[in-house]
């Protein structure tokens, strides 16, 4: 089934992102929401990061100040490993179809996470590009950000810089320190050119891996939950360990395993990535 028009595909190619409404069925969305509510409930019994991913790191990450009264669950690593609802949406939904039409036909799963900003959460994601965190032999990678809640201008929406996927890969090291974020000059350029990605629950932002993006704190009384999934073309081979190791990485979710490796990325100057506990740790330590 064709899900994207030629105009939408051209928009993605030139702008590096695309917003799509109703990217999952009502039933799938209800499943994601129900599961997330259960996880928030469970987090109330904890006061530090807990659970375990396949490499032994914490699965559930809590924001400083988290409590049973004011839960601040901010990250779930590899939710597809522990939830059939999340696995099925990653594996077989309109979201998967959209990705296949943009960088397919053969598509592989790389990793996923849930980024949550509960009301009043201070979490900020500084401006960066995703490719340096997941370098591959070519850059046919898409980060699919599915809005599990409605995303508005004031609940910590994703912001992107249209067309920035055609530019350089920016350094994330500054004064000898890995910050996980671009420098002040690039940040200021991003703020001047930012587009805010809002939408009702079930909407999807598809983002090219080189697109500059970030997001602000949640200043509202409503939660902002994103299910974030990274897919690659099947012929893109990872050049570094998976930042969120998981049980299903490398699974072909659309098309077939061709066995080909397509290499176009080796001439892209790529800042070296240290392996740290989590993306938030990397940005926070800087
Ligand atoms: O949660 C967000 O708003 C954006 C997340 C993001 O950019 C990332 O995790 O790379």
pLDDT tens per residue, range 79-88: 999 999 999 9
pLDDT of residue 127: 97
pLDDT of residue 142: 98
Distance between Cα 180 and ligand 1 center (Å): 12
pLDDT of residue 216: 86
**Is there an atom of ligand 1 within 6 Å of 158 CB?**
yes
Query: What are the angstrom distances between the C-alpha of 32 and each of 21, 37, 119, 198, 272?
Result: 16, 9, 19, 19, 35
- In CATH, what class is 6-285? mainly beta
Tokens at 248, concatenated: 């299903």
CA-CA distance, 124 to 183, in Å (whole number)?
A: 16
CA-CA distance, 174 to 181, in Å (whole number)?
A: 9
Residue 8: DSSP 8-state: H
pLDDT of residue 275: 56
Mean of pLDDT values over 48-65:
95
CA-CA distance, 36 to 32, in Å (whole number)?
A: 6
**Is there an atom of ligand 1 within 6 Å of 80 CB?**
no
pLDDT of residue 280: 55
Which band of pLDDT confidence, cut at 50, 70 and 90, is reported for residue 94?
very high
Ranges of each domain in the chain:
6-285
DSSP letters of 124-163?
-EEEE-SGGGS-BSS--EEEEEEESS-B-TTS--EEE-TT
pLDDT of residue 118: 85
Structure-token match 């690593």, residue found: 77
Strands of 213-215's sheet in order across: 125-128, 213-215, 158-160, 195-197
250: left (phi over 0), alpha (psi -120 to 50) or beta: left
% of the chain at pLDDT higher than 70: 92
User: Does position 191 have pLDDT exceeding 80, yes or no?
Assistant: yes
Q: Which residues contact 162 (CB under 8 A, 6 or more apart)?
A: 15, 16, 17, 193, 195
User: Does position 119 have pLDDT exceeding 50, yes or no?
Assistant: yes
**Is there an atom of ligand 1 within 6 Å of 226 CB?**
yes
Q: Bridge partners of 6?
A: none
Which atom of ligand 1 sits closest to the CA of residue 133? 10
User: Does position 261 have pLDDT exceeding 50, yes or no?
Assistant: yes
Mean of pLDDT values over 23-31:
98
User: Does position 284 have pLDDT exceeding 80, yes or no?
Assistant: no
Which band of pLDDT confidence, cut at 50, 70 and 90, is reported for residue 283?
low
Which band of pLDDT confidence, cut at 50, 70 and 90, is reported for residue 279?
low
Mean of pLDDT values over 101-123:
93
pLDDT tens per residue, range 4-19: 999 999 999 999 999 9
**Is there an atom of ligand 1 within 6 Å of 279 CB?**
yes
Which band of pLDDT confidence, cut at 50, 70 and 90, is reported for residue 263?
confident
The H or E element spanning position 185 is: helix 184-193
pLDDT tens per residue, range 137-178: 999 999 999 999 999 999 999 999 999 999 999 999 898 888
User: Does position 286 have pLDDT exceeding 50, yes or no?
Assistant: no
Distance between Cα 118 and ligand 1 center (Å): 14
User: Does position 282 have pLDDT exceeding 70, yes or no?
Assistant: no
Which atom of ligand 1 sits closest to the CA of residue 157? 3
pLDDT of residue 274: 58
Average per-residue pLDDT for the chain: 92
pLDDT of residue 80: 98
Distance between Cα 256 and ligand 1 center (Å): 29
Vertex 250: Cα angle to 157 and 149 (nearest 5): 20
């Amino acid at each position: 089934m064709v899900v994207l028009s030629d105009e939408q595909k051209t928009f993605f190619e030139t702008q590096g992102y695309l917003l799509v409404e109703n990217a999952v069925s009502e039933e799938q969305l209800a499943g994601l929401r129900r599961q997330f509510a259960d996880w928030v409930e469970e987090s109330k019994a904890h006061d530090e990061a807990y659970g375990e991913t396949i490499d032994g790191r914490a699965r559930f990450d809590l924001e400083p100040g988290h409590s049973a009264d004011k839960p601040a669950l901010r990250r779930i690593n590899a939710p597809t490993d522990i939830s059939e609802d999340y696995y099925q949406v990653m594996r077989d939904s309109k979201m998967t179809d959209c990705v296949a039409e943009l960088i397919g036909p053969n598509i592989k799963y790389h990793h996923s996470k849930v980024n949550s900003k509960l009301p009043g959460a201070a979490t900020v994601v500084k401006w960066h590009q995703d490719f340096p965190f997941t370098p591959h032999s070519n850059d046919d990678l898409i980060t699919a950000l599915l809005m599990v809640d409605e995303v508005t201008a004031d609940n910590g929406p994703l912001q992107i810089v249209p067309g920035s996927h055609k530019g350089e890969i920016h350094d994330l090291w500054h004064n000898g320190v890995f910050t996980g974020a671009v420098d002040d000059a690039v940040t200021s350029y991003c703020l001047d050119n930012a587009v805010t990605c809002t939408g009702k629950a079930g909407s999807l932002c598809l983002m090219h891996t080189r697109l500059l993006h970030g997001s602000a704190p949640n200043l509202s009384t409503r939660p902002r939950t994103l299910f974030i999934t990274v897919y690659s073309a099947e012929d893109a081979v990872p050049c570094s360990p998976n930042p969120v190791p998981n049980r299903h990485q490398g699974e072909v979710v659309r098309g077939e395993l061709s066995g080909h490796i397509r290499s176009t990325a080796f001439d892209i100057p790529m800042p070296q990535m240290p392996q740290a506990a989590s993306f938030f740790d990397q940005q926070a330590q800087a």
